[in-house]
Amino acid sequence: MPLDIINEIGIWISAFFILCVYSWLYRYNRFFKFGEHTLIGAAAGYYFVMGVRNIMNISIRGLSLGKYYQVIPLILGLVLYARFYRKYSWLMRYGTCFMIAVSSTIYFRALIVTHVTQQIAATIEKVSLASPLLALNSVVIVGLTVFTMMYFMFTNRFTSKVQGYDFINKIGRYGLLTALGFYLGITVMTRLAFVINRLEFLLFEWLRLPTF
Amino acid sequence: MSLGDKLLDIPEFYVYLVLLVLLVVPLIKPFGLPIALTETSRKYFNTVESLEPGTYVWVTHDAMSMTELEIGLSSHAVLKHLFQKEGIKIVIGCIVGEGPMFFEQTLKDVGAYEKYLEGYGTKYVYLPFVAGDEAAAAALATNIEKATGGVDYYGTKFEDLPLMQEVNNAEDFEIIFCVDEPGWNSVIWMNQWAVPYNIPMYCNPLAGVSASLWPYIEAGQIQSMLVGSKGAAEYELLMKAPGRAVAGMDAQSLGHIFLLLLVLMANIVYGSKKVSGEK
């Protein structure tokens, strides 16, 4: 089949599924459900193939080259499926434990430097009293950082009754809400970009409208 | 029913309809609203522009279908720029399963596919997806050959790829570009590559994710970033090659104004009801 026809079929299928998904804006319906299920099915199939390919590249190829230790991750992966057999379901704990232990060790190794020490240093380094505006900026940054952390770390039945602590809690909450507002505002750009991209596809690739 | 109640009761369908019109009109007939260039985008562009021949560049292309619609814009712009640079050597890694699905199409879109197909193995290499997120990035940082099984995405052995004879771990690279960053992946690459090996890192996050990356930029752990579709549009302008990102910016602006008006309106109505003691 010529490449142009294949592309054209692809564009029509894409357009159909985009319209199926956006039909949800009108109401939940069968077209949306069809689009949703097709996406999940396709994604599951795709990830299955990628997973198999990953195992073939690393473990099976390694075994064929005489690296017999590659059998260990294979076994640890296989025991995860033991959960489907009640009698042997305890075996899956070994695979799960290994995964969690490796991930958390690797993550915590980086955590202290990247998320704690360097962040504290960067916050303190920004403090400047060179001008009234910079001084105000420094107070806001350091103050909100400390109070927001205090809000999380010391919120319990005892500290919430301590006189004067409400004030710190309140500033911490304002800091949090300011940050969340920023997150929400900038997320609008992402959501609109998704819609604009699909509209561009529908208008210019599917309907082939001209631009003026 | 008061005016405030009527405004709050507008059916969602009509809100979506107005938004649709506001997005479609500028796409068909762009207004050419100005796009302000930010310091972060300039810094990103200048860094790519100043890459010397012979520089070893580690590129991560962790594309996902749910985020590619926005990040694809900036990853296209940066990859186009990188592949235009003569003499730099690029190794592309991926720890997101969907990455490979988008990579070849991206190369074709940026016009680099035919040109670089000849240089494959010497100018650039595309590594296979490696599962395991943080653990995968750490494994790639210490030994690429072990982490990938010694083959590229197409199954070619490293022995047959001259570029992979020259590099095998994070220390061999001079700069990192996370050109397609769907969520928290920039932080993974920062944790396992940029900070431990002291390699400058640049990333292209979703606009929504960029908010959480500012502290790392302020701390100098990430050098700069392109913020979502706006960053992509700025990059296209800096490259003097306006494309899809620039074309969508008018629609972005109108969409933002409309949503801002809705937020303001809802707050005014809510505030006035509260003042008047209504529920």
From chain A, the residues in CB contact with B192 under 8 A are 106, 110
Residue type, A112: I
Rounded Cα gap, residues A20 and A29, in angstroms: 9
Rounded Cα gap, residues B131 and B97, in angstroms: 7
**A33-80 per-position pLDDT tens digit:** 999 999 999 999 999 998 898 888 888 888 998 888 889 989 999 999
From chain B, the residues in CB contact with A58 under 8 A are 147-149
Beta bridge partners of B91: B58, B125
Higher pLDDT: A96 or B4? It is A96
Q: B127 in contact with A at a CB cutoff of 8 Å?
A: no
Q: Do A200 and B23 touch (CB under 8 A)?
A: no
Q: Copy the structure tokens of residue B87.
A: 């003499």
Judge whether B202 and B225 are in contact, CB under 8 Å. yes
Q: What is the pLDDT, as a whole number, of residue B236?
A: 94
DSSP string spanning B74-143?
Answer: HHHHHHHHHHHSSS-EEEEEE-STTHHHHHHHHHHHTT-HHHHHHTBTTTEEEEEE--SHHHHHHHHHH-
Q: Tell me which residue in B135, B215, B244 faces A119 most closely, judged by beta carbons.
A: B215
Q: Helix, strand, coil proportions of chain B in percent (round to 5)?
A: 60, 15, 30
Q: Which residue has the tokens 């072990």?
A: B146
Rounded Cα gap, residues A122 and A140, in angstroms: 15
Q: What angle (nearest 5°) sits at the alpha carbon of residue A38, between those of residues B94 and B21?
A: 90
Cα A190 to Cα A5, A106, A129, B203, B256, distances in angstroms: 33, 31, 37, 16, 11
Sequence-separated (6 or more) residues with CB below 8 Å from residue B278: none
Q: Do A114 and B195 touch (CB under 8 A)?
A: yes
Judge whether B71 and B170 are in contact, CB under 8 Å. no
Q: Do A107 and B134 touch (CB under 8 A)?
A: yes
Which residue blocks in chain A are alpha helix, DSSP H? 3-22, 30-55, 61-64, 71-78, 92-111, 118-125, 132-153, 165-200
**B214-272 per-position pLDDT tens digit:** 999 999 999 999 999 999 999 999 999 988 899 899 999 999 999 999 999 999 998 98
Q: B215 in contact with A at a CB cutoff of 8 Å?
A: yes
Residue of B nearest to A207 (CA): B28
Q: Tell me which residue in A50, A194, A212 faces B29 most closely, judged by beta carbons.
A: A212
ipTM of the complex: 0.88
Closest listed residue to residue A110, CA positions, set B190, B163, B219: B190
CA B166 to chain centre: 28
Q: B62 in contact with A at a CB cutoff of 8 Å?
A: no
Judge whether B54 and B225 are in contact, CB under 8 Å. no
- Side-chain-side CA neighbours of B197 within 13 Å: the count stands at 22
Tally of CB atoms within 10 A around B34: 7
Considering only residues 148 to 187 of chain B, which have any Cβ-Cβ distance to chain A shorter than 8 Å? 148-151, 155, 187
Q: What is the pLDDT, as a whole number, of residue A61?
A: 86
Please state the rounded mean pLDDT for residues B8-17.
88
Q: Do A25 and B13 touch (CB under 8 A)?
A: yes
Helix (H) or strand (E) holding B245: helix B244-247
Closest listed residue to residue B215, CA positions, set A212, A46, A126, A178: A126
Q: A67 in contact with B at a CB cutoff of 8 Å?
A: no
Q: B28 in contact with A at a CB cutoff of 8 Å?
A: yes
Q: Copy the structure tokens of residue B84.
A: 């235009």
Q: For the whole model, what pTM was predicted?
A: 0.89
Q: What is the pLDDT, as a whole number, of residue B15?
A: 92
Closest listed residue to residue B149, CA positions, set B117, B127, B119: B127
Q: What is the pLDDT, as a whole number, of residue B61?
A: 92
Rounded Cα gap, residues B222 and B43, in angstroms: 12
Please state the rounded mean pLDDT for residues B31-55.
95
What is the strand order of the sheet B89-94 is part of? B124-129, B89-94, B56-61, B175-181, B201-205, B224-225
Q: Do B27 and A196 touch (CB under 8 A)?
A: yes
Please state the rounded mean pLDDT for residues B191-195.
94
Q: Do A114 and B191 touch (CB under 8 A)?
A: yes
Residue of A nearest to B69 (CA): A194
